[in-house]
A and B are shown apart, each in its own frame.
Chain A
């Protein structure tokens, strides 16, 4: 064992209680940092999974009308584009053409046309305003998690009947609907009677209390929309590709195209702010521990002034002395980070099993956590930087001691 490390290990015991307090602070700081990050990142990831499963990664909606240009004179090639004159024509007139165009994008794995509208659901002598979504079941399952959102009934039953529908859990509760019940939907077109094939729950309150899924053919009659689609929902190889791909698709198909990151910007920012805020708050525990570590090491330097002088007299260099104190910080941070990470893993595991019913932006019956090694790396890096800075100044002070002056002072 290098002599500096041996001496550092022995000197650690010089201020056991203070050193133990600093170590405890670092353990708790690291553990809480990881746990809060696992929790906030877990909720964020679960939220993203939920909204992608409901609304898809990219949506193509309204058609963009070409920018108007003012021509100088009849037949002239000189024209001025009028900025800000872009017009959006609601819906997609030729969804099949647009979907065919999407074949040119390797990142697109699936696309499904959807017709959206408004209708009144009538059942059990009650009326309820809903937003029916007309879907092609086969393709829609490739751009959503509808099959996993079913809490009662079955997707299969929906697929087998053209007049079947799937209702949101909040609607079913409000209207006292059960699988197999018959309901009437009254829209701009012909009112039609449907049978409830399944009930879905996304956890997103707004979706669960206003959305019903019908077959595309059925909704055309209900809303009197014989052609076209309201939007096309797209799935990609990787959700992170959406922001870069959306403008390219928009340009290629001349329809407004929005990535999920843009669509859910508000919530994503809320999660981001929460994560940063919790990281900063918890980091203060580590900073305070670093301050304690600084004080402890300064006290050890003062306590060990004569020992430092004698070590210098017997041949230990200034760098050796500095290393002894830096190593003390290093030992504390290594032990603190290891114990902190172990406590964090245990805490995160325990937290993920705590029952809690969450509905509103997603559905979960327990705390959601994200196991991410980068959380541990970040905590370790913060703790290491703080402790090494806290150790640097006492170590420099120790290294600068003049052994002759110290020994002369002690002997006089």
Chain B
């Protein structure tokens, strides 16, 4: 069974004269343990598609299955619960909560899920930060970390609840070349090692081509 299935997604954005048809019947499936890139020019509908898949937005038409669960009829709280349990997000801007340390930021999704004890959450968050190379900086606030380090904390946070799907929107877009390479390699390795799927939106054709599969988008449709 596929990890994610998308069928005939349509989405309009804007109102009145500015209304445009951003997605025009997009459909594909995603398997675990593989990396996928959504590539295309600005305005091609990449991010719109990613947010629909991440259940952060609702399609005008079409359906999304997460595992065997169809999500179009779910309530906001149910969709939020699916995100909490099955999805991890990495955005272009790391969006760390600056009042929290790196460790505490990683623990936030676990606290919401509520399946682990405080000690277990700390241990797991510490392991994740070690896995992304920040084992010695767990107690630092977000403001005390470099951009690359903050993005790695965001990756650790995305992995906190062992999601089956990692959704990344331009995760390297705000990083220099070296850090971009490191972050992509990290995401790719984690996806392959843990059997998780990585779906990444990227402007960068080099990074997109390093994924197992590339969805090329243009004017709201997938070309190949």
Q: Is A244 in contact with chain B by the CB < 8 A criterion? A: no
B57 within 8 A of A: yes
Q: Does A346 contact B (CB under 8 A)?
A: no
* B51 interface residue (CB < 8 Å to A): yes
A411 touches B57 (CB 8 A): no
Shortest Cβ distance from residue A410 to the other chain B in the assembled complex, whole angstroms: 6
Distance in angstroms between the alpha carbons of A403 and B57 in the assembled complex: 8
Min Cβ gap B137→A in Å is 19
Q: A14-B99, A315-B113 are in contact. Are A411 and B83 (CB under 8 A)?
A: no
Chain A residues packing against B (C-beta within 8 Å): 3, 6-7, 10-11, 13-14, 306-307, 309-320, 402-405, 407-408, 410-411
Interface hub of B47, B99, B173 (most chain A Cβ within 10 A): B99
State A259–B184 Cα separation when bound (angstroms). Answer: 88
Residues on the B chain within 8 Å of A10, using CB: 97, 99-100
The 8 Å CB contact of A314, one of B48, B51, B112, B170, is B112
B209 vs chain A, min Cβ distance (A): 22
0 or 1 for each of B73-84: is its CB under 8 Å from A? (1 = yes): 000110011011
CB within 8 Å for A309 and B95 given contacts A314-B84, A317-B76:
yes
Quick check: is B157 within 8 A (CB to CB) of the other chain? yes
Q: What are 16 A-B residue pairs whose CB atoms fall within 8 Å in the complex?
A: A3-B111, A13-B99, A14-B99, A306-B93, A307-B95, A310-B97, A313-B83, A314-B84, A314-B88, A317-B81, A318-B77, A404-B51, A407-B56, A407-B95, A411-B93, A411-B169
Q: Does B54 contact A (CB under 8 A)?
A: yes
Contact with A along B163-186 (1 / 0, CB 8 A): 000000110010000000000000
Interface check B40, CB cutoff 8 A:
no
Q: Which 4 A-B pairs have the closest CB atoms?
A: A315-B84, A404-B56, A10-B99, A3-B111
The answer to whether residues A315 and B91 also contact, given A10-B100, A407-B51, A411-B169 and a CB cut-off of 8 A, is: no
Task: Please name all residues of chain B whose beta carbon is closer than 8 Å to the beta carbon of A11 when the two chains form the complex.
Answer: 99
Select from chain A the residue with minimum beta-carbon distance to B76.
Answer: A318
Residue-wise, chain B 86-105 has the 8 Å CB interface mask toward A (1 for contact) of 00110111010101100000
| Total B residues in contact with A, Cβ cutoff 8 Å | 33
A116 to B54, CA, bound (A): 92
Question: In the complex, what's the smallest C-beta–C-beta distance from A281 to chain B, in angstroms?
Answer: 38
Q: Using A404-B56, A407-B51, A407-B56 as known contacts, say yes or no to A315 and B109 having CB atoms under 8 A apart.
A: yes
Query: Chain B's nearest CB lies how many Å from the CB of A59?
Result: 69
Verify A411–B108 contact, CB threshold 8 A: no
- 137-183 of chain B: CB within 8 A of chain A: 157, 160-161, 169-170, 173
Alpha-carbon gap, A313 to B76, bound state (A)? 12
Partner of B97, one of A307, A320, A403, A407: A307
Contacting residues, chain B, for A312 (C-beta < 8 A)? 56, 80
Q: Is residue B85 contacting chain A, with contact meaning CB distance below 8 A?
A: yes
With A306-B95, A309-B95, A408-B51 known as contacts, the answer to whether A315 contacts B112 (CB < 8 A) is yes
Report chain B residues within 8 Å CB of A318: 76-77, 80
Closest to B154 in A: A310
A407 to chain B, nearest CB (A): 6
Tell me, in angstroms, the Cα distance from A104 to B122 when the chains sit together.
77
Asked if A310 contacts B76 (CB within 8 A), the reply is no
Task: Please give the distance in Å from B97's CB to the nearest CB on chain A.
Answer: 5
Known contacts A411-B92, A411-B170: A317-B51 contact under CB 8 Å: no
B83 and A315 contact, CB distance less than 8 A:
yes
> Does A317 lie within 8 Å of B99, measured CB to CB?
no
Task: Find chain B residues with CB under 8 A from A316 CB.
Answer: 80, 84, 112
Query: A310 contacts B99, CB within 8 Å?
Result: no
Name the CB-closest residue of B to A315: B84
CA distance A311 to B89 in the complex (A): 11
Residue of A nearest to B169 (CB): A411
A411 and B91: CB pair below 8 A?
A: yes
Cα of A408 to Cα of B88 in the assembled complex, Å: 16
In the complex, A407→B157 CA distance in Å?
A: 17
Q: Nearest-CB distance from B155 to chain A (Å)?
A: 13
Q: Do B47 and A315 have beta carbons less than 8 Å apart?
A: no
Chain A min CB distance to B40 (Å) = 15
Within the complex, which residue of A3, A309, A319 is in contact with B108, where a contact is CB–CB below 8 Å? A3
Chain A residues with CB under 8 A of B173: 411
Complex interface: chain A residues within 8 A of B80 (CB): 312, 315-318
| B47 contact set on A, CB distance < 8 A | 408, 411
A29 to B222, CA, bound (A): 63
A309 CA / B81 CA spacing, docked (Å) = 15
